[in-house]
Structures are given as structure tokens and as C-alpha cells.
Structure 1
């Protein structure tokens, strides 16, 4: 099709009819893109079996327009945009589950979930639906981590590794009352309760890490070119936490959603389309064909395959500008040229 027709179809592309928008609250805000999100979540889970380590974190899609739930996260590359909760494979960045965040005033899950009423705990449990009782290790940061949630996940055969705030309920006083200014660099304090190990380690700042399958062990490492000793939980947390950031980094080289959009859900659709290509490439790397393609070459091959599968039905001849035709006047003998106005 021509470029003009493509832009016209894109302009009128909708996923839900406006006449069917009858929901309220969270469902009303995401209803414009809900069928696409549900379809992608279902296909992402069906087409891939993740490895042991899973990473849960938030991502930010750049959006500069007006939107009531636009967020600001300075640690992300976009800084301002549409926030989403994502569950990814830690080592490859494969996206498994995707949920949009629409502000603190709209409850994503109004009722209790597995006995939890805390909003953060319900986000974690909803994203982990389908991956419990299978022996996975969930790596999270201190915004999601809490002791009651950790014990429940451990009872569902899911280990937890992540940082935790010392102000959380249930943290022992031996760690809660630590003064970072009085600790020397490299000092670590550990406490255990059953399968849960809580380690506080002083590096540049005081870091508190929780794990359900580690002990208070130190391993050699390097920092700024110098040999240091660090806890095993800190080393593995640094290794497996960046699954969502790894996915964003891989997508940053092929931004299908870079073009400005007046509708926020069109940008989310393009982001999910771009993520689908990345997930397909990760599946391809697990079972490569006779030749290994790079990420860019893989996208080109997908494009060529789509063009060969859906060729142009009728070819429209290119427009050729009309050639200048000379006016030939045939005059009879003795006849003069006609008078032309302006000549």
C-alpha cells in the first residue's frame, strides 16, 4: 500500500469501540488497549518457558502529552511517561507479564488476592500468577519486598531475593537500629529466621538484602579495580535484578514507538509490538537455525518474510508526468497567425 493509505489506516486504528466503554475505575482507563495487553500476556506465557530466575520491576514508556497517570522516575531513561509493572526473565529480558499503572487513586485489584490487601503485594502476586509452585526465584527491590509476602511465596515453592527497607514491619532490631555513620566499609550483619536470611552490608551506603535460599556468606569480588569481600546475596542480586532494564536496553536500539502519537494507547500498542519482536528473537536464540542472525538481521528477516507472505495484490503503475505537447498550427496559404492575448 502507499504511504498515504498506511497513515490513514493508522489514524483510524482502534482496538475497542467507544460505544462499548462502560467500565469504571482501572478497567475504564486501560480499556482502550486491554485486548492487546491480554493477548500479549497470554501469548508471551504460552510461547516460552523461562529459566529459574525472574525479575520484577517497573518500566517507563516516554510520553510527553497530557495524561492523568503520567509518572516521573528519575532513574529511568525516559524520566516522564507511562509506568508499567513487568515480569521478565532475569538473564535474557524476555517479557512474561505486563500491567499498566494508572495512578494510586485507581485500584488495580479491588478485592483481596491470596489473602493480601496491600496494593504492592497484589501487584507481585498477580504478575506471578502461573509461575508459582514451580521452583522459580523472584528477584525484586525494596519497593515490593516485605516479610509476609516472602513467607507466602516461600510456601508456594518460590524463593525470593531482593533488597528490603529496614523500616518494614518485622525487621529485627539488630538490623533496624544500625547506624550507617558508625559502621566501617565492608562490615556486614546477618540475622536468620527459618529459611529467611537478612544481611545488612555497608558499602558506599548501608544495603539490606533478604533471601530465602542463602546464608550469611562472603565471596571475593572487585569494586573500582580493587579486591573486596561482599555477601553472596548482594552478588547474586546485582547479577539477576536487571531483567527489565536489560529488556529496555535492547529495545532502545529499535524504537518503533519513537514517532509522536496523539493517543497514548497507540504508543503502548507500538511498544508491545516492539517487545513481541524482541521476545521472538530471544526464542530464536534458544533454538537457532543453521545460521545465527544478529538482532538487526533478525528484524530484517521478519520484515522480508511478511512482505513475501502478503504481497501486493494489484500493482498500481507509477505516475508519470505528462510530457509537454507542442501546439502545431496549420495555416493555409495567405493566412496570418491568430492574435494571442498578451503576446
Structure 2
């Protein structure tokens, strides 16, 4: 087969007949041309067994071609491509996903933004008792309440501007003055949410409907001032988050071994 023949055949490959898709679907679903293929892959993911501890994170599908769906996300291993919201197990199995199509495409009724909508969409297949972890892009007090109504406990880092004003914690500068390993915890009046602020190299704030500050352990850190490793006190919520948040990163690592690259 000649090169030209190959490219001609490739350009004619189709997953769906455009005449079978109505205009409303085309306007609503920007992936309608490959939707049957996406659904088949999703169904395969949904058939995988669910573990108790799961995580949700962003994933970038590398793509440099032409599409309105392409995003550029700095500080990602593959910054250019399609943004994908992924539900994964700690061992790296992808259990569900939703390809980002724009701000209006993923909005869940009653949600406060894309991050919350993505979590509510990806937790539809989860059962009561699941423990979920996600980062600051998704975390909010309202989201944890909605997940709790479904019997799902959640833990995540949180942006300072999403911490409710009723939460009383020392400021980041005050925590820094107390030294490395300093931490504080605040529990909501109904005991359903916990906020923990911890100072390591820099301050980090986490919230959870499951984990708190105790029992603390220690982690090894390099001290530039003393030029040696030291033991730094670490709240339990931080240890649990670090242990269970890497599912999507593990999936990316496994996929990188089989990535098809243009030549």
C-alpha cells in the first residue's frame, strides 16, 4: 500500500454515520463523531471492580492536531491535548472518565462549577462506603456535603478562598512562625467536616469528612539549614491523602510505556 493510499483510507474512517445523528445531539455533544467508541471504552472501565479507596484527578491526553477541544495546561507532563477527568484506583486502573468539552458541557444540576460537576458525574457508579480523594481544583465544603448524602466520604486539599469563613485556623504566616511540622485542626459544629492546616516546606490546607489530625506520624524531610534529614510531624489526613491520591498519576505512568508517538 502506498503512503497516499494509506492517508486516503485513514481520512475516510468513521465511527458513526453523520446522517444518523440529529442536529441537537451534534450541538450538545462535541465528541459525537467518536461517541460510540468513547462509550465502549467507558463501559469497559465501568465493568472493573471498585475498590474502597479511589481518587479523581485531571489527565491530559496528548494531542497536537486540530480540534476545538484542545487545552493547554501548564506544569503537566503532557501540557497540550484533551483534558480528561478520571476516576482511578490507587494501583492505576481507570474506572471511569469524562473528556472535557467546555465550561457548559459538564455542568451538573445544582453544582457550583466544573470541578464539582466532574466529581458528581464520576461518582454515579460508586456505592456507599467509598472513600474518595481529590485535589484543590475539586474540593469544596458543599461538594463534601453532597457526597456525604450519597454515603461517600471524601478528602482533599483545598484553596484558601474556598475555606468557609466560619473556620477558625491560624494564618499561614502564624503557622510558619511555629516551625516545620506545626498543624491545627478545626471541626465543624455538626462533626461532619474537618479542616487541617499543616506547615511543611509551605502551608497546605486540607478538609475531609473522614480523616482528621490524629493519629499523627512523622515523615523524613531534608533540612537545608541543618544540612541533614529530619523527622517532621505529619497529621493523619496528610498521610492518607498522599497514600491514596496517586491513582491517575500511576495510570499516566503505565500509559506512557505504550504511548504511540508520531514519527
Shared fold, TM over 0.5: yes
Cα shift at 1:66: 3.0
How many residues are treated as equivalent by the alignment? 251
- 1:118 correspondence with 2:125: no
Q: What is the TM-score with the length of structure 1 in the denominator?
A: 0.67
* Paired position in structure 2 for 1:304: none
* Paired position in structure 1 for 2:226: none
- 1:203 correspondence with 2:200: yes
Cα shift at 1:254: 0.9
- 1:240 correspondence with 2:244: yes
* Paired position in structure 1 for 2:60: 60
Q: Kindly tell me: are residues 161 and 255 of structure 1, through their superposed partners in 2, closer, same or farther at Cα, counting changes over 3 Å? A: same
Q: Among 202, 209, 212, which residue is 2:209 paired with?
A: 212
Cα shift at 1:32: 1.3
* Paired position in structure 1 for 2:179: 184
Cα shift at 1:131: 0.3
* Paired position in structure 2 for 1:45: 46
- Deviations along 1:276-332, whole A, 9 cap, x unmatched? xxxxxxxxxxxxxxxxxxxxxxxxxxxxxxxxxxxxxxxxxxxxxxxxxxxxxxxxx
Q: Kindly tell me: are residues 181 and 229 of structure 1, through their superposed partners in 2, closer, same or farther at Cα, counting changes over 3 Å? A: closer
Aligned with 2:250: secondary structure? helix
Contact conserved, 1:87 with 1:244, CA < 8 A, in 2? Answer: yes
Distance of 2:170 and 2:26 partners within structure 1: 38
Cα shift at 1:245: 0.9
- Which segments of 5 or more consecutive residues in structure 1 lack a partner in the other structure? 261-343
Contact conserved, 2:176 with 2:199, CA < 8 A, in 1? Answer: no
Contact conserved, 1:55 with 1:243, CA < 8 A, in 2? Answer: yes
Distance of 1:3 and 1:243 partners within structure 2: 42
Contact conserved, 1:86 with 1:99, CA < 8 A, in 2? Answer: yes
- 1:143 correspondence with 2:145: no
Contact conserved, 1:60 with 1:82, CA < 8 A, in 2? Answer: yes
Contact conserved, 1:25 with 1:107, CA < 8 A, in 2? Answer: no
* Paired position in structure 2 for 1:99: 98
> Bigger radius of gyration, 1 or 2?
1
Q: Among 221, 224, 232, which residue is 1:223 paired with?
A: 221
Cα shift at 1:248: 0.5
Cα shift at 1:59: 0.6
Q: Kindly tell me: are residues 82 and 26 of structure 1, through their superposed partners in 2, closer, same or farther at Cα, counting changes over 3 Å? A: farther
* Paired position in structure 1 for 2:169: 175
Cα shift at 1:173: 4.3
Aligned with 1:174: secondary structure? coil
Q: Kindly tell me: are residues 16 and 176 of structure 1, through their superposed partners in 2, closer, same or farther at Cα, counting changes over 3 Å? A: farther
Distance of 1:197 and 1:175 partners within structure 2: 11
- Deviations along 1:205-245, whole A, 9 cap, x unmatched? 11011122223222122123432211111111111111111
Q: Kindly tell me: are residues 178 and 136 of structure 1, through their superposed partners in 2, closer, same or farther at Cα, counting changes over 3 Å? A: same
Q: Kindly tell me: are residues 27 and 96 of structure 1, through their superposed partners in 2, closer, same or farther at Cα, counting changes over 3 Å? A: farther
Cα shift at 1:25: 7.2
Aligned with 1:149: secondary structure? helix
Superposed, 1:15-94 pairs within 5 Å as 15-21=15-21, 22-23=23-24, 27-46=28-47, 48-89=48-89, 91-94=90-93
Distance of 2:86 and 2:98 partners within structure 1: 6
Q: What is the TM-score with the length of structure 2 in the denominator?
A: 0.85
Distance of 1:55 and 1:40 partners within structure 2: 19
Cα shift at 1:132: 3.5
Cα shift at 1:119: 3.2
Q: Kindly tell me: are residues 171 and 96 of structure 1, through their superposed partners in 2, closer, same or farther at Cα, counting changes over 3 Å? A: farther
Aligned with 1:122: secondary structure? helix
